[in-house]
Amino acid sequence: MKKKILYISYHYPPSNSIASNRSFNQVTALRRLGHTVKVIHANVDHSRYIENLYHLEHSDNLSLPVNRGSLNHLYNQSFGLKNFILTKFPNKLLIFINSLKILLVGDQRDWNTDHNFSVALGWLQEFTPDLLISTSGPIENHFFCSRFKKLYGCYWLAEYRDSWSYDPMQPGASPTSLASTLCRLKESSAIRDVDLILAVSPVIHEYYQTYFDKKSFLMLAGWIDFEGRLPNPIHIQKCAGSKKNILHLGSMLLGKRSPIPLINLFENNEKLRQAYDLYFIGRDTHLFHNHLNNTHHAKDSVQLINEIDSTQARAEGLSADILLLLMMDHPGERHVVTGKIYEYIFLNKPIVVLDFQYSEASKIVQKYEFGYTCKSIDELEALLIKLSQDDQIISPSIANRNLFNVENAINALIRFIG
């Protein structure tokens, strides 16, 4: 049975952010499967991201205004200010201030307003949904959606891409800590009437069952086929008999994810330089230009390239020989299913993960034989040398790849909720 769905997401294209692309992929999959989907999203300033050129406006999408305060706007748009605060202030102080802020006023209360709710109702007119889907974060998406739940009384699915009241990436994080306990009080009021949690990782799946007594559905999926022709690759050119191309796609997270160990590895290993060209494409790669430019040898084999839109990224990925995934050396990383793993799976090229914590992403790569996992730089160095000399490199199966297609996962989800 085809459904009429109201989908609420703060993040949505034309922003090229991971959160926006994930929402877009889900909505696209739902519409391709024949469901009627109305999307309400925030008209937020995403100028720090490039525009997603693949996105086309849809008549069933409504963009609502967000009124940020001047200080909040300055912080989000100023890379220098944000980088200074994140690197110079103690983590415990940042965690305390952020927890206090979201506990008292939420994430984006300027999106969940009476005015926006009234505008949305006028836009929906006679449309009566039989399924609500809200994404997180911010938590205000769920607060906003709770208004529609009270009005329509239909089934409500709340997606979590990160657990809101418990963040494993924070130092000393624990679901039983005072901060998590207090934040759960606020979060409980947001999702009180939720019928099902849609979890994107096992730790989220378990958390909302254990601490909120909510039914949860684990959905490990993320890629869709793009319609139309992809652009030609700009950065990675495949030539017969040339070196193999290794590609890392994704943000350097304001420097928290670093290519420096790989740059140094190429600087000191001539065999790697002779066998490979290494590309890092994504936001914040400029932070490492000085380090690369000061090398003697690595700069001839390693390139740092700014963010490109999702269609161009896919074209570059299809021209690569090996896809590199860098996970941060942080205990919280072991719970992470990073979003780009699904795009890597779509590309159907061997994946090499450098993962000090053995994350959920590494478990997927190993279980479905998508590639290789390395727990240290030394392991990675040995693997790359071996692969440069061995033609028997892993070739991922199409059948396993298709398990992570969003359309297949959405079909399973719809069958589950009935």
Would you kindly state where each structural domain of the chain is located, as residue ranges?
A: 4-221+406-417, 244-396
Tell me what the mean pLDDT of segment 348-363 comes to.
Answer: 95
Q: Give dist(CA 139, CA 191) in Å, integer.
A: 9
Yes or no: domain 244-396 corresponds to CATH 3.30.450.40? no
| pLDDT for the residue 134 | 98
The residue among 344 and 338 whose pLDDT is bigger is: 344
Pick from 191, 169, 194, 164: which is nearest to 180 by CA? 164
- DSSP assignment of 17-52 equals SHHHHHHHHHHHHHHHTT-EEEEEEEE---TTSPB-
Q: What are the backbone dihedrals phi and psi of residue 228, each rounded to the nearest 5 degrees, phi first?
A: 90, 180
For residue 78, the surrounding DSSP H or E stretch is none
3-state secondary structure of 108: coil
Q: What are the backbone dihedrals phi and psi of residue 155, each rounded to the nearest 5 degrees, phi first?
A: -65, 135
pLDDT band at 356 (very low <50, low <70, confident <90, very high): very high
pLDDT band at 218 (very low <50, low <70, confident <90, very high): very high
| pLDDT for the residue 237 | 83
Do 244-396 and 4-221+406-417 fall under one CATH topology?
yes
| pLDDT for the residue 137 | 77
Q: Where are the alpha helices (DSSP H) in 49-139?
A: 70-77, 79-88, 91-105, 114-124
pLDDT band at 74 (very low <50, low <70, confident <90, very high): very low
| pLDDT for the residue 365 | 96
Instruction: Count CB-CB contacts under 10 A for residue 274.
Output: 10
Strands 244-249 and 322-326: parallel
CB 123 within 8 A of CB 41: no
3-state secondary structure of 360: helix
| pLDDT for the residue 36 | 98
Q: Give dist(CA 354, CA 375) in Å, integer.
A: 6
Tell me what the mean pLDDT of segment 199-222 comes to.
Answer: 95
Residues 6+ apart with CB under 8 A from 83: 254, 255
Convert the pLDDT of each residue in 135-157 to its tens digit: 987 888 999 999 999 999 999 99
Instruction: Count CB-CB contacts under 10 A for residue 56.
Output: 10
Average pLDDT of every residue of the chain: 88
The encoded tokens of residue 198 equal 């849609």
Convert the pLDDT of each residue in 267-298 to its tens digit: 999 999 999 999 999 999 999 999 999 999 99
pLDDT band at 75 (very low <50, low <70, confident <90, very high): very low
CB 194 within 8 A of CB 142: yes
| pLDDT for the residue 105 | 57
The residue among 102 and 42 whose pLDDT is bigger is: 42
CB 57 within 8 A of CB 14: no
Q: Give dist(CA 331, CA 203) in Å, integer.
A: 13
How many CA atoms within 13 Å lie on the side-chain side of 399?
2
Domain with residues 4-221+406-417, CATH architecture: 3-Layer(aba) Sandwich (3.40)
Convert the pLDDT of each residue in 239-265 to its tens digit: 766 799 999 999 998 888 999 999 999
The encoded tokens of residue 99 equal 């927890």
| pLDDT for the residue 51 | 75
CB 339 within 8 A of CB 363: no
| pLDDT for the residue 85 | 54
Q: Give dist(CA 103, CA 36) in Å, integer.
A: 35
Pick from 149, 212, 155, 148: which is nearest to 186 by CA? 212
- Kindly tell me if the per-residue pLDDT of 390 is higher than 70: yes
Above pLDDT 70, what percent of the chain? 87
Tell me what the mean pLDDT of segment 39-43 comes to.
Answer: 93
Q: Where are the alpha helices (DSSP H) in 106-196?
A: 114-124, 140-152, 178-190
Angle at 318 between CA 313 and CA 321, to 5 degrees: 115
**C-alpha pair distances (Å), 272 with each of 2, 241, 242, 290, 302:** 53, 16, 13, 21, 11
The DSSP output letter for 297 is: S
Tell me what the mean pLDDT of segment 398-418 comes to.
Answer: 94
CA 50, distance to chain mean position in Å, is: 15
CB 346 within 8 A of CB 223: yes
- Kindly tell me if the per-residue pLDDT of 236 is higher than 90: yes
Convert the pLDDT of each residue in 161-205 to its tens digit: 888 888 887 766 788 887 788 889 889 999 999 999 999 999 999
Backbone dihedral region for residue 348 (phi beyond 0: left; psi -120 to 50: alpha; all else: beta): left
pLDDT band at 33 (very low <50, low <70, confident <90, very high): very high
The encoded tokens of residue 402 equal 């298709």
| pLDDT for the residue 393 | 87
Residues 6+ apart with CB under 8 A from 44: 10, 11, 15, 66, 111
Length of the chain: 418
Pick from 246, 200, 190: which is nearest to 25 by CA? 200
Q: Give dist(CA 294, CA 278) in Å, integer.
A: 17
- Kindly tell me if the per-residue pLDDT of 108 is higher than 90: no
